[in-house]
Amino acid sequence: MSQTLFNIQGKIALVTGSTHGLGMAMAMGLGKAGATIIVNGNSSQEKIDDAIKEYQKEGITAYGYKFNVADEKQVIEAVKKIETEVGSIDILVNNAGIIKRTPLVDMEVADFKQVVDIDLVSPFIVSKHVVKGMMERKEGKIINICSMMSELGRNTVGAYAAAKGGLVMLTKNMATEWARFNIQINGIGPGYFATSQTAPIRVDGHPFNDFIVNRTPAKKWGDPNDLAGAAIFLSSKASDFVNGHILYVDGGILATIGKPSNEE
């Protein structure tokens, strides 16, 4: 029964921003579970090609498409091309995002808008054009990648927090409008993960490393592979009656406002 519930063999999954980091980790998980992966990026074709090689090393069938998720014209063209060349998109993971660490009082309006465009508007754009095929087929899965900043504020990330907070409500409204077509729209809220980007600060004695380890009930950074199970669950039949939900994968940070673990 469990093999049937969590089976995504043969499904086609578009994961935006999947050339590296947590996007790649989730796409790897979906690919190892049998899905064909559509790799998306916008920085360079070379980066996409390099990512494809990494997927292929793991025995994953993957195709790369370069397009800007915040540009509706590019999204429309890419979705049509993917559906023609690879097939219908069964799973969409809206992962692409940016963050600009600037105090709100010093932040340029253009920078604020850019963060909101990529982190909030682009999931709307991509979902809008992918979901039409899902509605016709009466089946589909959409996963929006939220954040702990969907629930909490933090210095210098006001634009990011505003966008990710909005993404929670966008997810709920997508579910409100599209659930009747047998489409499940949910979110994943990652905590703090051990990635190449966080490597410089994940050392004993670094103030932020100590803060994260002490404030996380699990007392460690997350392994990017820890996101694979959540992505597979929300992409499979196991989540067919789960809609408008945000699954936080954070080691328990949002569960507590208690003392750090080293002050027990």
The Cβ of residue 170 has, within 10 Å, a number of other Cβ atoms equal to 21
d(CA 4, CA 6): 6
d(CA 79, CA 185): 18
When computed from its CA atoms, the radius of gyration of the chain, rounded to whole angstroms, is 18
Find the helix or strand (DSSP H, E) in which 159 lies. helix 158-178
d(CA 63, CA 67): 13
Catalytic residue among 55, 65, 160, 192: 160
The Cβ of residue 80 has, within 10 Å, a number of other Cβ atoms equal to 11
Residue type, 165: G
Residue 160: active-site member: yes
d(CA 104, CA 24): 30
Beta bridge partners of 144: 94, 187
Strands (E), the chain: 12-15, 36-41, 62-66, 91-94, 140-145, 183-190, 246-249
Q: Which residues are catalytic?
A: 160
